[in-house]
Structure 1
Amino acid sequence: MPTELTSSDTAGDKPHYRRVLLKISGEALMGDREYGLDPDMVARTASEIRAVCEMGVEVCLVIGGGNIFRGISGATAGMERATADYMGMLATVINCLAMQNALERCGITTRVQSALHIHAVCEPYIRRRAIRHMEKGRVVIFAAGTGNPFFTTDTAAALRATEMGCDALLKATQVDGVYDSDPKRNKDAVRFDTLTYLDVLSKDLKVMDASAISLSRENGIPILVFSIHNHGAFRDVLCGRGLFTKITE
Protein backbone atom coordinates (compact mmCIF):
# COMPACT_ATOMS: atom_id res chain seq x y z
CA MET A 1 0.00 0.00 0.00
CA PRO A 2 1.26 3.54 -0.74
CA THR A 3 2.57 5.36 2.32
CA GLU A 4 3.12 9.03 2.99
CA LEU A 5 6.28 10.12 4.73
CA THR A 6 6.05 10.72 8.48
CA SER A 7 5.52 14.18 9.91
CA SER A 8 9.19 14.40 10.80
CA ASP A 9 10.07 13.80 7.14
CA THR A 10 7.69 16.43 5.77
CA ALA A 11 8.95 19.45 7.65
CA GLY A 12 9.85 22.48 5.57
CA ASP A 13 10.33 21.75 1.89
CA LYS A 14 10.53 17.98 2.18
CA PRO A 15 8.18 16.02 -0.09
CA HIS A 16 5.25 14.06 1.28
CA TYR A 17 5.81 11.14 -1.11
CA ARG A 18 8.86 9.07 -2.07
CA ARG A 19 7.70 7.74 -5.46
CA VAL A 20 5.09 9.36 -7.71
CA LEU A 21 3.63 9.12 -11.18
CA LEU A 22 2.98 12.36 -13.04
CA LYS A 23 0.26 12.25 -15.70
CA ILE A 24 0.51 15.03 -18.29
CA SER A 25 -2.01 15.55 -21.06
CA GLY A 26 -0.73 16.01 -24.59
CA GLU A 27 -2.68 19.27 -24.81
CA ALA A 28 -0.66 20.67 -21.89
CA LEU A 29 2.49 20.41 -24.03
CA MET A 30 0.98 22.51 -26.83
CA GLY A 31 1.48 25.73 -24.88
CA ASP A 32 -0.31 28.44 -26.84
CA ARG A 33 -0.25 26.47 -30.07
CA GLU A 34 -3.26 24.82 -31.66
CA TYR A 35 -1.43 21.62 -32.55
CA GLY A 36 1.79 19.74 -31.83
CA LEU A 37 4.50 20.52 -29.28
CA ASP A 38 5.70 23.82 -27.87
CA PRO A 39 9.45 23.34 -27.19
CA ASP A 40 9.39 26.03 -24.49
CA MET A 41 6.53 24.30 -22.66
CA VAL A 42 8.26 20.92 -22.90
CA ALA A 43 11.50 22.45 -21.56
CA ARG A 44 9.70 24.20 -18.67
CA THR A 45 7.90 20.98 -17.71
CA ALA A 46 11.22 19.13 -17.78
CA SER A 47 12.78 21.72 -15.45
CA GLU A 48 9.91 21.25 -12.98
CA ILE A 49 10.42 17.49 -13.04
CA ARG A 50 14.15 18.02 -12.44
CA ALA A 51 13.39 20.14 -9.37
CA VAL A 52 11.36 17.28 -7.90
CA CYS A 53 14.03 14.70 -8.75
CA GLU A 54 16.58 16.87 -6.95
CA MET A 55 14.50 16.47 -3.77
CA GLY A 56 15.13 12.73 -3.95
CA VAL A 57 11.65 11.80 -5.21
CA GLU A 58 11.46 8.89 -7.67
CA VAL A 59 9.41 10.02 -10.67
CA CYS A 60 7.72 8.25 -13.55
CA LEU A 61 5.46 9.78 -16.20
CA VAL A 62 2.57 8.99 -18.49
CA ILE A 63 1.96 11.52 -21.27
CA GLY A 64 -1.16 11.71 -23.43
CA GLY A 65 -1.19 12.22 -27.19
CA GLY A 66 -4.17 14.52 -27.72
CA ASN A 67 -1.99 17.32 -29.06
CA ILE A 68 -1.20 15.11 -32.08
CA PHE A 69 -4.02 12.59 -32.42
CA ARG A 70 -6.89 11.54 -30.18
CA GLY A 71 -8.27 8.08 -30.85
CA ILE A 72 -11.86 8.78 -29.86
CA SER A 73 -11.95 11.81 -32.19
CA GLY A 74 -10.76 9.63 -35.05
CA ALA A 75 -13.48 7.12 -34.25
CA THR A 76 -16.08 9.88 -34.22
CA ALA A 77 -14.93 10.88 -37.71
CA GLY A 78 -15.67 7.37 -38.97
CA MET A 79 -12.37 5.57 -38.36
CA GLU A 80 -12.41 2.15 -36.75
CA ARG A 81 -11.97 2.78 -33.01
CA ALA A 82 -9.19 0.23 -32.49
CA THR A 83 -7.15 1.65 -35.37
CA ALA A 84 -7.71 5.20 -34.13
CA ASP A 85 -6.59 4.22 -30.62
CA TYR A 86 -3.38 2.64 -31.92
CA MET A 87 -2.67 5.87 -33.80
CA GLY A 88 -3.19 7.75 -30.53
CA MET A 89 -0.70 5.41 -28.81
CA LEU A 90 1.91 6.25 -31.43
CA ALA A 91 1.26 9.94 -30.78
CA THR A 92 2.12 9.41 -27.11
CA VAL A 93 5.46 7.89 -28.15
CA ILE A 94 6.34 11.11 -29.99
CA ASN A 95 5.54 13.17 -26.88
CA CYS A 96 7.51 10.82 -24.63
CA LEU A 97 10.61 11.03 -26.82
CA ALA A 98 10.37 14.83 -26.81
CA MET A 99 10.13 14.85 -23.00
CA GLN A 100 13.03 12.41 -22.71
CA ASN A 101 15.18 14.72 -24.83
CA ALA A 102 14.20 17.76 -22.72
CA LEU A 103 14.92 15.94 -19.44
CA GLU A 104 18.31 14.70 -20.58
CA ARG A 105 19.23 18.21 -21.67
CA CYS A 106 18.49 19.13 -18.04
CA GLY A 107 20.89 16.44 -16.87
CA ILE A 108 18.22 13.90 -15.81
CA THR A 109 18.84 10.35 -17.02
CA THR A 110 15.61 9.10 -18.56
CA ARG A 111 14.22 5.91 -20.04
CA VAL A 112 11.17 5.58 -22.28
CA GLN A 113 9.33 2.26 -22.02
CA SER A 114 6.60 1.54 -24.54
CA ALA A 115 3.68 -0.86 -24.26
CA LEU A 116 4.02 -1.21 -28.05
CA HIS A 117 7.41 -2.62 -28.98
CA ILE A 118 9.38 -0.03 -30.96
CA HIS A 119 12.92 -1.21 -30.26
CA ALA A 120 14.69 1.41 -32.39
CA VAL A 121 13.61 4.30 -30.14
CA CYS A 122 12.57 2.96 -26.73
CA GLU A 123 12.62 -0.02 -24.40
CA PRO A 124 9.70 -2.44 -24.17
CA TYR A 125 7.70 -2.06 -20.97
CA ILE A 126 9.09 -4.45 -18.35
CA ARG A 127 7.82 -3.78 -14.83
CA ARG A 128 10.85 -4.94 -12.87
CA ARG A 129 13.25 -3.09 -15.17
CA ALA A 130 11.21 0.10 -14.79
CA ILE A 131 11.31 -0.20 -11.00
CA ARG A 132 15.08 -0.73 -11.12
CA HIS A 133 15.52 2.37 -13.28
CA MET A 134 13.62 4.41 -10.71
CA GLU A 135 15.63 2.97 -7.82
CA LYS A 136 18.74 4.21 -9.66
CA GLY A 137 17.30 7.73 -9.82
CA ARG A 138 16.24 7.64 -13.45
CA VAL A 139 12.94 9.07 -14.68
CA VAL A 140 10.86 6.48 -16.52
CA ILE A 141 8.32 7.62 -19.12
CA PHE A 142 5.63 5.11 -20.05
CA ALA A 143 4.55 5.40 -23.67
CA ALA A 144 1.69 3.93 -25.73
CA GLY A 145 -0.83 3.80 -22.89
CA THR A 146 -1.71 0.27 -21.80
CA GLY A 147 -0.91 -1.06 -25.27
CA ASN A 148 -4.58 -1.88 -25.79
CA PRO A 149 -7.31 0.05 -27.61
CA PHE A 150 -10.39 1.33 -25.75
CA PHE A 151 -8.32 2.40 -22.73
CA THR A 152 -7.29 6.00 -22.05
CA THR A 153 -3.91 7.26 -20.89
CA ASP A 154 -5.63 8.13 -17.58
CA THR A 155 -6.25 4.43 -17.08
CA ALA A 156 -2.67 3.72 -18.15
CA ALA A 157 -1.47 6.21 -15.53
CA ALA A 158 -3.46 4.52 -12.75
CA LEU A 159 -2.26 1.10 -13.91
CA ARG A 160 1.43 2.07 -14.06
CA ALA A 161 1.21 3.89 -10.71
CA THR A 162 -0.13 0.69 -9.19
CA GLU A 163 2.50 -1.52 -10.84
CA MET A 164 5.33 0.81 -9.78
CA GLY A 165 4.12 0.95 -6.17
CA CYS A 166 3.74 4.74 -6.38
CA ASP A 167 2.66 6.65 -3.29
CA ALA A 168 0.57 9.13 -5.33
CA LEU A 169 -0.67 9.87 -8.84
CA LEU A 170 -0.41 13.53 -9.81
CA LYS A 171 -2.47 14.77 -12.72
CA ALA A 172 -1.25 18.00 -14.32
CA THR A 173 -4.18 19.72 -16.02
CA GLN A 174 -5.17 23.08 -17.48
CA VAL A 175 -6.82 24.22 -14.21
CA ASP A 176 -5.75 24.25 -10.56
CA GLY A 177 -7.87 21.38 -9.30
CA VAL A 178 -11.25 19.71 -9.72
CA TYR A 179 -14.32 21.90 -10.21
CA ASP A 180 -18.03 21.10 -10.21
CA SER A 181 -18.20 22.44 -13.79
CA ASP A 182 -15.82 23.79 -16.41
CA PRO A 183 -14.29 26.95 -14.85
CA LYS A 184 -13.37 28.22 -18.32
CA ARG A 185 -17.05 28.29 -19.26
CA ASN A 186 -18.64 28.96 -15.87
CA LYS A 187 -17.12 31.75 -13.78
CA ASP A 188 -19.13 30.52 -10.78
CA ALA A 189 -17.66 27.01 -10.87
CA VAL A 190 -16.69 25.74 -7.41
CA ARG A 191 -13.26 24.21 -6.80
CA PHE A 192 -12.89 21.29 -4.38
CA ASP A 193 -9.92 21.03 -2.00
CA THR A 194 -10.62 17.37 -1.27
CA LEU A 195 -12.85 14.69 -2.74
CA THR A 196 -13.38 10.99 -2.25
CA TYR A 197 -13.15 8.54 -5.12
CA LEU A 198 -16.89 7.94 -4.76
CA ASP A 199 -17.56 11.70 -4.96
CA VAL A 200 -15.81 11.83 -8.33
CA LEU A 201 -17.76 8.85 -9.64
CA SER A 202 -21.17 9.81 -8.24
CA LYS A 203 -20.91 13.46 -9.32
CA ASP A 204 -19.57 12.38 -12.73
CA LEU A 205 -16.69 14.83 -12.42
CA LYS A 206 -14.60 14.63 -15.58
CA VAL A 207 -11.15 14.78 -14.01
CA MET A 208 -10.31 11.19 -15.03
CA ASP A 209 -12.29 8.33 -16.50
CA ALA A 210 -14.13 5.97 -14.19
CA SER A 211 -11.78 3.02 -14.67
CA ALA A 212 -8.77 5.14 -13.62
CA ILE A 213 -10.58 6.37 -10.51
CA SER A 214 -11.74 2.86 -9.62
CA LEU A 215 -8.26 1.38 -10.05
CA SER A 216 -6.72 4.09 -7.87
CA ARG A 217 -9.38 3.54 -5.22
CA GLU A 218 -8.90 -0.21 -5.24
CA ASN A 219 -5.17 0.22 -4.61
CA GLY A 220 -5.37 3.18 -2.23
CA ILE A 221 -3.41 5.59 -4.44
CA PRO A 222 -4.29 9.26 -3.78
CA ILE A 223 -4.79 11.45 -6.85
CA LEU A 224 -3.58 15.06 -6.72
CA VAL A 225 -4.89 17.37 -9.46
CA PHE A 226 -3.11 20.66 -10.14
CA SER A 227 -2.36 23.14 -12.93
CA ILE A 228 0.63 22.53 -15.18
CA HIS A 229 0.67 26.27 -15.92
CA ASN A 230 1.57 27.35 -12.36
CA HIS A 231 5.35 27.61 -12.13
CA GLY A 232 6.77 25.29 -9.47
CA ALA A 233 3.40 23.64 -8.93
CA PHE A 234 4.69 20.07 -9.18
CA ARG A 235 7.20 20.63 -6.38
CA ASP A 236 4.72 22.67 -4.31
CA VAL A 237 2.00 20.02 -4.48
CA LEU A 238 4.42 17.31 -3.38
CA CYS A 239 5.26 19.49 -0.36
CA GLY A 240 1.57 20.10 0.43
CA ARG A 241 1.51 23.71 -0.78
CA GLY A 242 -0.38 25.64 -3.44
CA LEU A 243 -3.72 25.01 -5.10
CA PHE A 244 -4.68 21.43 -5.86
CA THR A 245 -7.43 18.91 -5.25
CA LYS A 246 -6.69 15.70 -3.39
CA ILE A 247 -8.82 12.65 -4.15
CA THR A 248 -8.66 9.87 -1.55
CA GLU A 249 -10.88 7.36 0.23
Structure 2
Amino acid sequence: MPDSKGLVLVVEDERHIADLQRLYLTREGFGVHVETDGRAGLAAARRLRPVAIVLDIALPGLDGVEVCRRLREDGDWTPVLLVTARDDEADRVLGLELGADDYVTKPFSPRELVARVKTVLRRAAGPPQAAVRRVGRVAVDPVRRTAEADGRPVELTATEFDLLAHLLRHPGRVFPREQLLAQVWGQADYRGSRTVDVHVAQLRAKLGDASPIRTVRGVGYSAADAAR
Protein backbone atom coordinates (compact mmCIF):
# COMPACT_ATOMS: atom_id res chain seq x y z
CA MET A 1 0.00 0.00 0.00
CA PRO A 2 1.43 3.44 -0.91
CA ASP A 3 2.51 5.85 1.82
CA SER A 4 -0.26 8.16 2.99
CA LYS A 5 -0.18 11.69 1.63
CA GLY A 6 -1.33 12.88 5.04
CA LEU A 7 -4.58 13.14 6.96
CA VAL A 8 -7.46 15.21 5.56
CA LEU A 9 -10.13 16.27 8.03
CA VAL A 10 -13.64 16.28 6.52
CA VAL A 11 -16.28 18.19 8.48
CA GLU A 12 -19.62 17.41 6.83
CA ASP A 13 -23.01 16.65 8.40
CA GLU A 14 -24.53 14.99 5.31
CA ARG A 15 -23.34 11.42 5.67
CA HIS A 16 -23.62 10.43 2.00
CA ILE A 17 -21.49 13.43 0.98
CA ALA A 18 -18.92 12.69 3.69
CA ASP A 19 -18.76 9.07 2.55
CA LEU A 20 -18.09 10.12 -1.05
CA GLN A 21 -15.37 12.51 0.07
CA ARG A 22 -13.77 9.80 2.17
CA LEU A 23 -13.90 7.31 -0.70
CA TYR A 24 -12.28 9.57 -3.30
CA LEU A 25 -9.68 11.07 -0.96
CA THR A 26 -8.72 7.59 0.25
CA ARG A 27 -8.29 6.43 -3.35
CA GLU A 28 -5.78 9.25 -3.81
CA GLY A 29 -3.73 8.05 -0.87
CA PHE A 30 -4.96 10.39 1.86
CA GLY A 31 -5.98 9.34 5.31
CA VAL A 32 -9.43 10.72 6.15
CA HIS A 33 -11.08 11.59 9.45
CA VAL A 34 -14.74 12.68 9.41
CA GLU A 35 -16.63 14.81 11.91
CA THR A 36 -20.29 15.80 11.51
CA ASP A 37 -20.56 19.06 13.47
CA GLY A 38 -18.54 22.22 13.81
CA ARG A 39 -17.45 21.91 17.43
CA ALA A 40 -16.19 18.36 16.93
CA GLY A 41 -14.50 19.44 13.71
CA LEU A 42 -12.67 22.30 15.46
CA ALA A 43 -11.54 19.96 18.24
CA ALA A 44 -10.35 17.39 15.69
CA ALA A 45 -8.40 20.04 13.76
CA ARG A 46 -6.62 21.10 16.93
CA ARG A 47 -6.01 17.51 18.04
CA LEU A 48 -5.07 15.80 14.78
CA ARG A 49 -3.24 18.59 12.90
CA PRO A 50 -4.40 17.43 9.44
CA VAL A 51 -2.65 18.46 6.23
CA ALA A 52 -5.92 19.96 4.94
CA ILE A 53 -9.50 20.52 6.07
CA VAL A 54 -12.60 20.09 3.89
CA LEU A 55 -15.15 22.20 5.76
CA ASP A 56 -18.85 22.48 5.07
CA ILE A 57 -20.28 25.92 5.83
CA ALA A 58 -23.73 24.79 7.01
CA LEU A 59 -22.85 22.74 10.09
CA PRO A 60 -24.63 22.15 13.39
CA GLY A 61 -22.91 23.43 16.53
CA LEU A 62 -20.53 25.90 14.89
CA ASP A 63 -20.82 26.82 11.22
CA GLY A 64 -17.83 26.38 8.96
CA VAL A 65 -17.03 30.09 8.79
CA GLU A 66 -16.77 30.25 12.57
CA VAL A 67 -14.60 27.13 12.65
CA CYS A 68 -12.27 28.74 10.09
CA ARG A 69 -12.19 32.00 12.06
CA ARG A 70 -11.23 30.24 15.28
CA LEU A 71 -8.49 28.23 13.60
CA ARG A 72 -6.94 31.35 12.11
CA GLU A 73 -7.19 33.15 15.45
CA ASP A 74 -5.24 30.22 16.92
CA GLY A 75 -2.52 30.81 14.32
CA ASP A 76 -3.46 27.55 12.57
CA TRP A 77 -2.98 28.07 8.82
CA THR A 78 -3.81 24.54 7.70
CA PRO A 79 -5.27 24.79 4.16
CA VAL A 80 -9.07 25.01 4.34
CA LEU A 81 -11.39 24.14 1.46
CA LEU A 82 -14.94 25.36 2.07
CA VAL A 83 -17.93 23.38 0.81
CA THR A 84 -20.87 25.70 0.19
CA ALA A 85 -24.41 25.74 -1.15
CA ARG A 86 -25.17 27.91 -4.17
CA ASP A 87 -26.86 30.56 -2.02
CA ASP A 88 -23.97 30.82 0.45
CA GLU A 89 -22.08 33.60 -1.37
CA ALA A 90 -21.94 35.97 1.60
CA ASP A 91 -20.64 33.24 3.90
CA ARG A 92 -18.25 32.03 1.20
CA VAL A 93 -16.74 35.51 0.78
CA LEU A 94 -16.51 35.93 4.55
CA GLY A 95 -14.78 32.57 4.79
CA LEU A 96 -12.22 33.63 2.20
CA GLU A 97 -11.68 36.90 4.03
CA LEU A 98 -11.07 34.98 7.25
CA GLY A 99 -8.41 32.84 5.59
CA ALA A 100 -10.03 29.93 3.76
CA ASP A 101 -7.94 28.89 0.76
CA ASP A 102 -10.60 27.83 -1.74
CA TYR A 103 -14.15 26.55 -2.03
CA VAL A 104 -16.36 24.17 -3.98
CA THR A 105 -20.11 24.62 -4.48
CA LYS A 106 -22.69 21.87 -4.02
CA PRO A 107 -23.42 19.84 -6.03
CA PHE A 108 -19.81 19.10 -6.93
CA SER A 109 -17.87 16.28 -8.50
CA PRO A 110 -15.85 14.31 -5.91
CA ARG A 111 -12.99 14.33 -8.43
CA GLU A 112 -13.11 18.14 -8.47
CA LEU A 113 -12.93 18.22 -4.69
CA VAL A 114 -9.89 15.93 -4.66
CA ALA A 115 -8.22 18.08 -7.33
CA ARG A 116 -8.86 21.22 -5.25
CA VAL A 117 -7.42 19.59 -2.14
CA LYS A 118 -4.29 18.59 -4.05
CA THR A 119 -3.99 22.11 -5.46
CA VAL A 120 -4.14 23.86 -2.07
CA LEU A 121 -1.60 21.38 -0.73
CA ARG A 122 0.75 22.08 -3.65
CA ARG A 123 0.40 25.79 -2.98
CA ALA A 124 1.07 25.27 0.73
CA ALA A 125 4.22 23.27 -0.04
CA GLY A 126 5.33 25.49 -2.89
CA PRO A 127 8.08 24.78 -5.41
CA PRO A 128 11.62 25.24 -4.11
CA GLN A 129 12.92 28.55 -5.41
CA ALA A 130 16.10 30.02 -4.01
CA ALA A 131 15.65 33.74 -4.55
CA VAL A 132 13.78 35.99 -2.15
CA ARG A 133 11.40 38.14 -4.18
CA ARG A 134 11.09 41.80 -3.24
CA VAL A 135 8.98 44.62 -4.62
CA GLY A 136 9.16 47.90 -2.76
CA ARG A 137 8.71 47.28 0.95
CA VAL A 138 7.38 43.72 0.65
CA ALA A 139 9.43 40.52 0.34
CA VAL A 140 8.56 36.85 0.07
CA ASP A 141 10.82 33.85 0.61
CA PRO A 142 9.52 31.00 -1.59
CA VAL A 143 11.59 28.36 0.23
CA ARG A 144 10.50 29.24 3.77
CA ARG A 145 7.09 30.44 2.54
CA THR A 146 7.36 33.58 4.61
CA ALA A 147 6.39 37.17 3.81
CA GLU A 148 7.53 40.47 5.26
CA ALA A 149 6.29 44.05 4.98
CA ASP A 150 8.68 46.77 6.16
CA GLY A 151 10.72 44.01 7.78
CA ARG A 152 7.86 42.66 9.90
CA PRO A 153 6.54 39.11 9.36
CA VAL A 154 3.06 38.85 7.84
CA GLU A 155 0.97 35.70 8.34
CA LEU A 156 -0.65 34.59 5.10
CA THR A 157 -2.76 31.63 4.05
CA ALA A 158 -1.28 29.30 1.45
CA THR A 159 -3.42 30.92 -1.25
CA GLU A 160 -2.62 34.48 -0.18
CA PHE A 161 1.09 33.65 -0.21
CA ASP A 162 0.90 32.04 -3.61
CA LEU A 163 -0.96 35.00 -5.10
CA LEU A 164 1.49 37.52 -3.64
CA ALA A 165 4.53 35.48 -4.72
CA HIS A 166 3.12 35.15 -8.23
CA LEU A 167 2.67 38.92 -8.57
CA LEU A 168 6.10 39.65 -7.09
CA ARG A 169 7.76 37.24 -9.53
CA HIS A 170 6.55 39.47 -12.37
CA PRO A 171 6.84 43.08 -11.12
CA GLY A 172 5.02 45.57 -13.32
CA ARG A 173 3.17 42.91 -15.31
CA VAL A 174 -0.60 43.27 -15.27
CA PHE A 175 -2.55 40.04 -14.78
CA PRO A 176 -6.24 39.81 -15.70
CA ARG A 177 -8.33 38.03 -13.11
CA GLU A 178 -8.89 35.02 -15.36
CA GLN A 179 -5.11 34.57 -15.71
CA LEU A 180 -4.65 34.68 -11.95
CA LEU A 181 -7.43 32.12 -11.53
CA ALA A 182 -5.70 29.82 -13.99
CA GLN A 183 -2.13 30.34 -12.78
CA VAL A 184 -2.64 30.57 -9.00
CA TRP A 185 -5.87 28.65 -8.40
CA GLY A 186 -5.66 26.25 -11.33
CA GLN A 187 -9.19 27.18 -12.39
CA ALA A 188 -10.47 28.07 -15.82
CA ASP A 189 -13.87 29.40 -14.70
CA TYR A 190 -13.89 33.20 -14.87
CA ARG A 191 -17.05 33.30 -12.75
CA GLY A 192 -14.73 32.76 -9.81
CA SER A 193 -13.08 36.17 -10.31
CA ARG A 194 -14.68 37.40 -7.07
CA THR A 195 -12.30 34.99 -5.36
CA VAL A 196 -9.33 36.95 -6.75
CA ASP A 197 -10.77 40.27 -5.57
CA VAL A 198 -11.38 38.92 -2.06
CA HIS A 199 -7.84 37.59 -1.75
CA VAL A 200 -6.34 40.83 -3.07
CA ALA A 201 -8.36 42.82 -0.54
CA GLN A 202 -7.21 40.52 2.23
CA LEU A 203 -3.56 40.82 1.17
CA ARG A 204 -3.81 44.61 1.11
CA ALA A 205 -5.31 44.60 4.60
CA LYS A 206 -2.47 42.45 5.94
CA LEU A 207 0.34 44.30 4.14
CA GLY A 208 -0.99 47.77 4.97
CA ASP A 209 0.36 50.78 3.12
CA ALA A 210 3.44 48.75 2.11
CA SER A 211 1.27 46.68 -0.25
CA PRO A 212 2.71 46.65 -3.77
CA ILE A 213 -0.53 45.38 -5.34
CA ARG A 214 -2.04 47.85 -7.80
CA THR A 215 -5.41 47.70 -9.50
CA VAL A 216 -5.39 48.42 -13.22
CA ARG A 217 -8.96 49.43 -13.88
CA GLY A 218 -10.71 47.24 -16.40
CA VAL A 219 -7.75 44.85 -16.65
CA GLY A 220 -6.60 43.28 -13.39
CA TYR A 221 -3.75 43.49 -10.88
CA SER A 222 0.00 44.05 -10.83
CA ALA A 223 2.81 44.47 -8.30
CA ALA A 224 4.69 47.78 -8.26
CA ASP A 225 6.75 49.70 -5.73
CA ALA A 226 4.65 51.19 -2.94
CA ALA A 227 5.12 54.88 -2.35
CA ARG A 228 7.26 55.66 0.65
TM-score, scaled to structure 2: 0.36
* RCO comparison, higher one (Cα < 8 Å, 6+): 1
More helix by share: 2
TM-score, scaled to structure 1: 0.33
